[in-house]
Chains A and B, each alone.
Chain A
Amino acid sequence: MRRILISAAAAACAVLLMWYSWSALRPSGGTRQETLSVAQTLGGSAAAGYLRADKPRRFSFPADHGPHPGFRNEWWYFTGNLQAADGRRFGYQLTFFKTALTPAAVSRGSAWGTNEVYMAHFAVTDVAGEKYRFAERFSRAALGLAGAGGTPLAVRLEDWSAQQTSPRPWGVRLSAAEPDFALDFNLASIKPEILNGAGGLSRKGATPGNASYYYSIPRMATTGTLRIGKERFTVKGLSWLDREWSTSALEPDQVGWDWFALQLDDGRDLMFYQLRRRDGSSDPFSGGTLIAADGRARAVTRDEVQLEVVSWWESPVSGARYPSTWRLRIPSQGIALEVVPRLADQELLTAFRYWEGAVEVRGLDGSPSGSGYLEMTGYLGAAAENKGPLR
C-alpha cells in the first residue's frame, strides 16, 4: 500500500546508501543519522514529466502484472506466512521496487545507460529459531542485471526473481538466495486481483495526483522450499501480492504509516493502512479493503476502523520505538482482532529502515483467527527529526 512511499523513499535512500557504503574507512557512529525519514526523502520531490495516478483507469490482466513505464515508482510486493510439515512457522517478504530516475527513458551508446534502478528486499522470519534475516540489493535495469518483462511477468534483480508460471489462475514462481537463506516458491492465486481504492485509484492525500494505482491478490496458495542456514524445509501457506505504481509523494505533514494485510481463518482478507500525521493523529485518507471469502471486495474507511496500540517494542539497533501488538476493530463488520508480531524484531535495517513482519491474528479472547503481514514506517524518522537535521 503505502509502500509506494517505501519504494520511492528507499530508491532515493538507496542512492544515498550506495555512496555512503563506499566509505569503508568512514568513522562509525553516524549510521543512525544517515538513515532518512520518509518525509524528508519524499518531501516535495518534483514530479514534472512523469505520469500521475490522477484518474481512474481500466485494469487488464495479466498485462497489468507487468511494468508501467512513465511512472516514477512501481513495485511487486510478495509477503506470506508458511508452515513446514512439522508445524514450524515462517514468514517471508520478497519485494521488487523499480524507480525511474527520469520521466523518459534515456538513449545512450552504452548498454549500461538507463534511467531505471531496481531495489529488492528479501526477508525471512524463522519463528521457532527466533531469527529474522533480511537482505537488500540494488541494480540498474541494464545488461540483464535487473528488469521487468510484461506478459508473462518476469521481474528480476540479478538472481532474485518472480516469474509468471500460469496466466489464469495467475501463478508465479519466486526465487531468491543469499548465503544464509533462500527460497524457491510456487504461488497460485486463490482469489482474483482486487482493485483497492476507487476502482484501483488509491488516493493518499488531498493534493491531486498524490495517489497510486493499487491492486492486490490477497490469497495465493504457496508451496516450495525454504533454506535457513544449511537446513531445508518444505513449506506451504498463504502469500499476499501487492502491486502499486505511482509518481506521488506524501503530503508534507504525513510522517509514516501502519499497514495491515490480514488473511482471516474465516476466509475474509483485510487490507488497511493508517497514514499518520506529524501530530500523531491518523490522516483522513487512511483506508482499506475488506475482501469476502468469495472474492467480493468493499472499501473500508478510516471512520469504520478503530485502531489501538496495545504494546510497544524498541529497536536496540535503530532506537526506533515501534508499536508491537495492535487491537483492530471494525464493528460494522463484526471484526475485533489482536494483531501480534510472530517475532518482536522484524526490523529491516536497510537503506530505508522500517518494520515489516509476519503477524498472528487472534480474537480478543486470544483464539487464533488468522495470519498476515504488518508494515510500520516513520517511527525512526520522527525520532531522527527530533534530534535535529540530517546531514
Chain B
Amino acid sequence: MAEPIVELRGVGKSFHEGDRERVVFRDASLSIDPGSWVFLFGRSGSGKSTLLNLVSGIDLPDRGEVMVDGASLSRLSERERTLFRRNHIGFVFQFYNLIPTLTVDENVLLPLELSGMLTPAGRRRAAELLDAVGLADRGRAFPDRLSGGEQQRVAVARALVHAPKLVLADEPTGNLDAETGHQVLDLFQRLLRPAGTTLVLVTHSGEVASLADRVLSIKDGVLVDAAGVPGAKA
C-alpha cells in the first residue's frame, strides 16, 4: 500500500473559552490512504471542523504531528503552510464561502491564480468544471445572484479547479435541501473518484455514509471508526 496521504500521530488540541478549557482532541491518530474517501460524523461542537483545520494547516495541534502528503505541517512556517494549502488542498464549506466581490468565473479561477496555474489549460479546466457542475452559463454572475445549491456547486468547482490531491469538505450539504445535497455529492462522485482524489468530508447526516470508504467519529478526543463501516481502524 502506498504512503498515507494524511496521517495524524497523537494529536492533542484544546481551546480556551473564557476561563474554561475545552479539549477537542486528546490523542487522535489517523491514517488516510490516497484516493480514499473518509467521512467524519459527529455532533455539533465535537471537533469535526477542528480536524479539517488541522489537516489544512489553518490550525496547528498543541501536541502530536499532522502529516499531509509526507510533509509535517507543524514544521512548516505559516507562509509555507499557506502555500501548501493553496497548491494541494481544495476546500468546500457549509456556507459556500464564495468571494462575494468576484464573479462565478473569477471565484473558480482564483485558486489557479494563487498557485500560478492561470494558463489557457487551466482556464479550459475551469470552464469544463463549471460545465460539469451545470453552471457554464452563469460564469459572469456574482454569487449573491445564485441559489444555495448553485453556490455550493461553484464552491465544488473552485475546490477542484487546481486538481488538488486532497479535498476537504465541511458539511457541504448541511445548508442544502436533500435533493440539492444529493446533486453536490453526485458531483463529488463524478469528479473526484475518476481522478482518485482523496476526500475528507465532515457531516452529521448519516445518509451519505454509504458513499464513504471509511467513516469516523470523535469520541472523548479520540478518532474512532464508526460501527459497520468497512476499512475502519482504531
- Touch between chains A and B, by CB atoms below 8 Å: no
